[in-house]
Amino acid sequence: MKLRAPSVPLITVDPYFSVWSPADRLTDKTVCHWTGKPNSMLGLVNVDGKIFRFMGVSDDAPAEQISLDVDALSTTYVFEAGMVRIKAFFLTPLLPDDPDLVSRPVSYLKLTYESVDSAKHSVGFTVSVSEEICLDKAGQSPVVASEADISGIPCMRMGNSEQNVLNRSGDDVRIDWGYFYLAAKGKGASVTAGKTKYASDDGKKTELTSLTASAEGEALIMFAYDDINSIIYFGKKLSSWWNRDGMTIEMAIEKAAASYDRLVKRCREFSDKLYIDACRAGGEQYAELLSLAYRQVFAAHKTACDEDGQLLFVSKECFSNGCAATVDVSYPSIPMFLHYNPEFVKGMMRPIFRFAASENWPYDFAPHDAGRYPILNGQYYGEKDGKHPMEMQMPVEECGNMLIMAASVAVAQGNTSFIREHIDVLEQWAKYLIEYGQDPENQLCTDDFAGHLAHNCNLSLKAIMGLAGLSIIFRMLGAKRKAESYLKKAREMARVWLDTAKNGDGSYRLAFDREGTFSLKYNAVWDKLFGTGIFPAEAIQSELASYFRHVNPYGMPLDNRALYTKSDWIVWTATMFESDDDFRRFIEPVWRTYDRSPSRVPMNDWYDSVTSLMEHFQHRSVQGGLFIKLMEKDFREKSRKVLLK
């Protein structure tokens, strides 16, 4: 990968079990949780009696890093230490066709070496993991360590001595319940507990309780986490998907060890295919963006099982406010999952459908979220004294999002079995859009960074495409009269939109009452993907042509009010271009942003288009939206078949 990752993925399982290296070299910085707080780890290699450090920060001499490569499912470092060359291969097997594997909280580090001078050498590896991985902050309370009972595999576990499962929700917080497991395979492999000295990035030395895995020569290290329960779901503690039938973490580790070689092969095949397909769809820079985003997108979700045995795929709104199952976070992320496995999109939508059907949701429009991660008891955003004031709602936004998501799932899977269960509430939300979506009142939308905005043209586009989506659903249900009625209404609204949003120079406004303004009209991409032809192609292409007047070094701003932009919406917008060259030209600044930004954090979607500095967000699930160009061809063909029926 030519792209310099702003932060390098090492362990990427879920919002709590997520470890990254925020540096070009694995020995330059303390490895950390995606929030930036330390999850100190130390990797050492003994070569002929001399100690070298290949991971983390300590007083030991660093090995010389020769290379770093990142693909969709793995990260590979190569070092030279003495007269041997070492390879550290991190793998989290997030294969999308296997939710059991996606949710299994086991990640790998394979350590191998080869002689540089053709001579034999004595080589031994040790990997230490500090208490920070199972606490919100080091030292908050004592940790306890004990042996784990796994046949033939040395393994120990470590956890907070004060176990209070799912004791809180929040954004910039880490798990402090459950148990971290460290296992090792290799000649003379062992795992021990004790104190390890780490040095922070500023040179301060700290001694922390740690687990340490050791082996002579090659070693397979497995990192695992048993969170006991994964989420609170409307008052009930639920398990993750992987252990819904009673599998223990020890069984999962044993299974992971036995399947490692097979998984490496499957993961390489998947990653290679992703890269090749993305190159064909959008070029090499596009393929690198997707390769970097893939693990992050999965790791910003928790895959759980509800009381009825159905899959839940719960996002965390990372470094925004920690909301869970946020609709306007799910909406931009769906392209990746529509392409690889739409069951995950259904898992995103279930918490919203459930809350919207409860007596605790008084409105006739869709909720914003279903809680604050990991506690899903109902909408958190804007809640005050148990109520959800109207001024903090996003009614047109979330209704449009849910309708488009529902239609896209139906198209992607070629059936309406899931959507049929919720058709009444979907139609209720469509009626809301008919009444309020043509010219939205002063309200928030997903791009609310500049606050409320009335007469939002892009928000009106979402309402129009939401109605188009429902028309597709009814067509698939065989209700052609309803399908034609909703499509007719969408076309009527589009005609009004074209007349009232125009600037007069071929471009269209930010708001209907603000002549001469501009904004990214990314919601119109669904007209192309659904093949509904609601907007004239010449109108869309003239709008797109105007965008190149506004492009800054790191992309086009969201609108004329500020210099910030969002990576997901840039790629959605670029997907509407008819020319492949224009697509690549429009997304190139996004690649440049991640390659050059001084903000060394897991991929942010919200950043300054002039400086490339990341705003508050990081580790965002919405990077799944980058996959929209990759999914375009297949999805449009599926849509065409639906419309021909």
The percentage of the chain sitting over the pLDDT mark of 70, rounded to a whole number, equals: 100
Residue 245's Cβ-count burial label (10 Å; 0-12, 13-18, 19+) is exposed
pLDDT number for residue 443: 85
pLDDT number for residue 376: 98
- For residues 206 and 317, membership in a common domain is answered with no
Contact of 175 with 227, CB cutoff 8 Å: yes
pLDDT (tens digit per residue) in 597-611: 999 999 999 999 999
The pTM of the full predicted model, rounded to 2 decimals, is 0.97
- For residues 351 and 261, membership in a common domain is answered with no
Q: How far apart are CA 56 and CA 615, in angstroms?
A: 27
- For residues 200 and 317, membership in a common domain is answered with no
Residue 305 lies in a domain: no
pLDDT (tens digit per residue) in 132-154: 999 999 999 999 999 999 999 99
Vertex 13 angle, CA 284 and 189, to 5°: 105
Does residue 362 have a cis bond before it (omega within 30 degrees)?
A: no
Residue 82 lies in a domain: yes
- For residues 136 and 248, membership in a common domain is answered with yes
Mean model confidence pLDDT for the chain: 96
What are φ and ψ of residue 198, in 5° steps?
A: -120, 150
Q: What is the mean pLDDT of residues 152-180?
A: 97
pLDDT bin (cut points 50, 70, 90) of residue 626 is very high
Residue 275 lies in a domain: no
Q: What is the mean pLDDT of residues 81-106?
A: 97
pLDDT (tens digit per residue) in 482-520: 999 999 999 999 999 999 999 999 999 999 999 999 999
Residue 581 lies in a domain: yes
H helices of 575-627, in order, are 580-596
Domain around 595: 310-644
Last residue of a domain, one of 248, 268, 288: 268
- For residues 340 and 461, membership in a common domain is answered with yes
* Residue from 112, 69, 71, 106 nearest 88 by CA: 112
Q: What is the mean pLDDT of residues 287-311?
A: 98
Residue 294 has pLDDT above 90, yes or no: yes
Structure token pair of residue 575? 């997907």
Read off the CATH number of the domain in which 602 is found: 1.50.10.10
Q: How far apart are CA 29 and CA 23, in angstroms?
A: 6
Residue 299 lies in a domain: no
- For residues 199 and 137, membership in a common domain is answered with yes
Last residue of a domain, one of 244, 268, 292: 268
- For residues 461 and 529, membership in a common domain is answered with yes
Q: What is the mean pLDDT of residues 612-640?
A: 95
Last residue of a domain, one of 234, 268, 302: 268
Q: How far apart are CA 323 and CA 311, in angstroms?
A: 19
- For residues 247 and 374, membership in a common domain is answered with no
- For residues 254 and 395, membership in a common domain is answered with no
Read off the CATH number of the domain in which 112 is found: 2.70.98
Q: How far apart are CA 154 and CA 148, in angstroms?
A: 8
Q: How far apart are CA 443 and CA 358, in angstroms?
A: 24
pLDDT number for residue 574: 98
Residue 171 lies in a domain: yes
Residue 290 lies in a domain: no
Contact of 32 with 19, CB cutoff 8 Å: yes
Helix (H/G/I), strand (E/B), else coil: 237: strand
Contact of 293 with 624, CB cutoff 8 Å: yes
What are φ and ψ of residue 247, in 5° steps?
A: -60, 135
- 199 Cβ partners below 8 Å, 6+ apart? 57, 58, 59, 205, 206
- For residues 241 and 342, membership in a common domain is answered with no
Strands 236-238 and 231-233: antiparallel
The percentage of the chain sitting over the pLDDT mark of 90, rounded to a whole number, equals: 94
- For residues 103 and 197, membership in a common domain is answered with yes
Helix (H/G/I), strand (E/B), else coil: 620: coil
Looking at the structure of the chain, the number of domains it has is 2
- For residues 220 and 348, membership in a common domain is answered with no
pLDDT bin (cut points 50, 70, 90) of residue 449 is confident
Residue 382 lies in a domain: yes
